[in-house]
Structure 1
Amino acid sequence: MTRTTPARPVSVEAVSPELAAHRGRTTRLHPRPGRPGMRDSHVGGPMLWPVGEPWPVCEEPHRPEAEGYAPDDIRSGRAAGAWPASRPWPGGGTPGEGGPVPFTGLAQFFRRDVPGLAAGPGGADLVQLFRCPLRHGSDLERRYVLRWRRAAETEAAEGFLAAPPQLPLLRWEDELPEPCVLHPEQVVTYPWAEEDALPAALIARIDAWEDAQSAQHGRMAPSYQCDLSIPPGWRVGGFPSWASTGPLTVDCASCATPMRLLLTAAGEEMDADSHSWVPLEDRDPSLRGKDAIRFDRTLATPTRLRFGRDRDLHVFTCPADPGHPPQWLLA
């Protein structure tokens, strides 16, 4: 089933014609719970991983943990609509101190499925995203891995890993992604309107327009940031949202080239401020506005993942050399 973003409540370039020069495109991925295969683009499904190839592991020290949730208990709890019971950590806690911890596969994307997905090093057209399921240091930092592949070469392997290694317990329920199929859709997008993400004079005009809209429509007034610029949820390419941090400069650590946004991973596909982006297929056509949205967990938080304190994870790569190390930012 396709997903179709509704027309914006206001024409962005009618608000300010100068925004036409800053127009871009992003691919909304619209993950929804399903049964993706290893040859599909997905969030939370099985990775296309040749058998015999070492699975990525995190060898850094991890914070000690006293309890966690078994993956099978998490799945059973989700199916029953209940919270899983926690269990004591095997061996009295301190996982990871005695050996490496396997990364969790979060998502994979083929360029053949996802319009706008940038090519990787050497023309790689399959990218796989992993996260360490445990936390690091006093700041509870996370570790991510990006793996690029050539799809045709990988699909020609003699065999594939049926079940990746995993910890017996996960510290949080939201460390286990729900398998989701994707419904890619390209939409027009515009930069975040704050600090130097757009010219100061243009931001001032956008602010003045928003003030006028609020005076006329009150709480129902459209907002540039929430309704007209950047859609919520998982997406590829386009512009980063900076709701928590404000715009940041992201340069390649290897060559100082300004990096480009490869993808955004998000815990939520919608919230109270972004309802105008909810696809038409997830609405009741007999109703209007927020009343039309079919609110349920499979729509709001389909992947069951969280990033930071409900932030977006932005993954940046170097356009001069995609083989240079990526950068990860929570915003």
Structure 2
Amino acid sequence: MSRTTPPRPVDVTAVFPQLAALARTATRLHPRPGAPTPHHSSVGGPLLWPADQPWPHCTGPHDWDGFNEALSPDDIRLMRDIRASIAARRASGTHPPHHTPDERALEEGISTGRPWPEGPVAMLPVAQLFARDVPLLRAPEDTDADLLQVLWCPFDHPEHPRTATYWRSSPAISNSLSSPPAPDALQFPGYLPDPCLLTPEEVTEYPNPLELSTDDQQQLKDAARWRQAGPGWDEAYAPAADEFYRNQLSTSPGWKAGGWTRWGLTDPKPRRCSTCDSDMYPLLTIASLEWSSATASWIPMEEQATVAPSPYSQPSNPTLLDLARGYDLQLYMCPVSAEHPHLELIQ
């Protein structure tokens, strides 16, 4: 099923013509649960990994945080299955609307945890993007790759998973690895992405208000200016009119490639390559949520009738990721070389 972002409630360039020159195209990835193969663009799916290339491992440190018990990938999947079964019973009115004795026993066994890793940890597949599915996927200048692969270590380094990026030419991979190693344990269940297929869609974005000039920021706060936009303006935003722009018009929520940066946890800061000092470009946003209550207008039109709030389902969290308690991990790439380190930013 295709997924289509609804038209924005207001043509922001009609109200603020100076923003037209700042428009950027982002690709919303729209991950949804599925059964990807190594030949699909995916989140949390198997990678088209060369059989003769060693699988990446993280050498640490992996120090116990003193609070969370490490769980295996199978532990986490079993817990998710149990909770999905409970949610399904509650939604249908089937009894029992809570844990069965067997489910309770299984969860209690899982909660005892696994040994904290003492050596290298196998990295987890996070995302795989083929340029055929994401035509605007931008590779560094020194590679003709058509495939991006992102993995991470499922332990904090220090406040989020450590990522690794790989650029490849997919036609050159004639023999792929069929059974890659998996980590024995993860620090948090929210670091294991549920396998998802993608339905990419290109949308237009504009800068976060914090990246605009002081004069433009002041104009965005002028509710009288917004009222000239017509019925698409939401008067509920009048006390903080710039939030209308931030939530409804600037950056799309959820997983995306390219586009503008979602600032909020910090003010904007330079993103320059530590090797060559080039300005880095936004590569991929790994999102905890596809939308929030503030950004619900971005819910795809095909899904708006099926995402009514429910205490038993999480339609806005199809990947089941949770990064830094609901934030996003944004990756930036050096335009010059794939060998130069990428940059990670939590926002």
If the TM-score is normalised by the length of the shorter chain, which range does it land in?
Answer: 0.7 to 0.9
Q: Which SS does the other structure have where 2:321 is aligned?
A: coil
1:235 and 2:261 are equivalent in the alignment: no
Separation in 2 of the partners of 1:11 and 1:117?
26
Match of 1:74 among 58, 73, 76: 76
Separation in 2 of the partners of 1:271 and 1:89?
31
Q: Which residue identity lines up with residue 303 of structure 1 in the other structure? A: T
Shift of 1:302: 0.5
Q: Identity over the aligned pairs, expressed in percent?
A: 38
Match of 2:149 among 105, 117, 128: 128
Match of 1:263 among 275, 279, 284: 284
Unmatched runs of 5 consecutive residues or more in structure 2? 87-102, 228-232
1:302 and 2:345 are equivalent in the alignment: no
> Partner residue of 2:17?
17
> Partner residue of 2:295?
274
Separation in 1 of the partners of 2:223 and 2:270?
27
1:250 and 2:268 are equivalent in the alignment: no
Evaluate the alpha carbon distance shift between residue 216 and residue 123 of structure 1 in structure 2; reply closer, same or farther with a 3 A threshold: closer
Evaluate the alpha carbon distance shift between residue 73 and residue 117 of structure 1 in structure 2; reply closer, same or farther with a 3 A threshold: same
Q: Which SS does the other structure have where 2:222 is aligned?
A: helix
Alignment root-mean-square deviation, CA: 2.4
Evaluate the alpha carbon distance shift between residue 237 and residue 141 of structure 1 in structure 2; reply closer, same or farther with a 3 A threshold: closer
Q: Which SS does the other structure have where 2:330 is aligned?
A: strand
Evaluate the alpha carbon distance shift between residue 60 and residue 119 of structure 1 in structure 2; reply closer, same or farther with a 3 A threshold: same
Deviation by residue 1:110-151 (Cα, 9 ceiling, x = unmatched): 111113100244211111111111234xx4453111111111
Evaluate the alpha carbon distance shift between residue 301 and residue 211 of structure 1 in structure 2; reply closer, same or farther with a 3 A threshold: farther
1:151 and 2:170 are equivalent in the alignment: yes
1:202 and 2:204 are equivalent in the alignment: no
Separation in 2 of the partners of 1:298 and 1:44?
17
Q: For residues 176-195 of structure 1, what are the structure 2 equivalents within 5 Å?
A: 176-194=192-210
Evaluate the alpha carbon distance shift between residue 295 and residue 116 of structure 1 in structure 2; reply closer, same or farther with a 3 A threshold: farther
Q: Which residue identity lines up with residue 102 of structure 1 in the other structure? A: A
Match of 2:135 among 115, 125, 128: 115
Q: TM-score, normalised by structure 2?
A: 0.83
The answer to whether the 8 Å contact 2:26/2:257 transfers is: yes
Q: TM-score, normalised by structure 1?
A: 0.87
Separation in 1 of the partners of 2:234 and 2:4?
29
Q: Which residue identity lines up with residue 329 of structure 1 in the other structure? A: L
More displaced, 44-53 or 292-301? 292-301
Unmatched runs of 5 consecutive residues or more in structure 1? 285-291
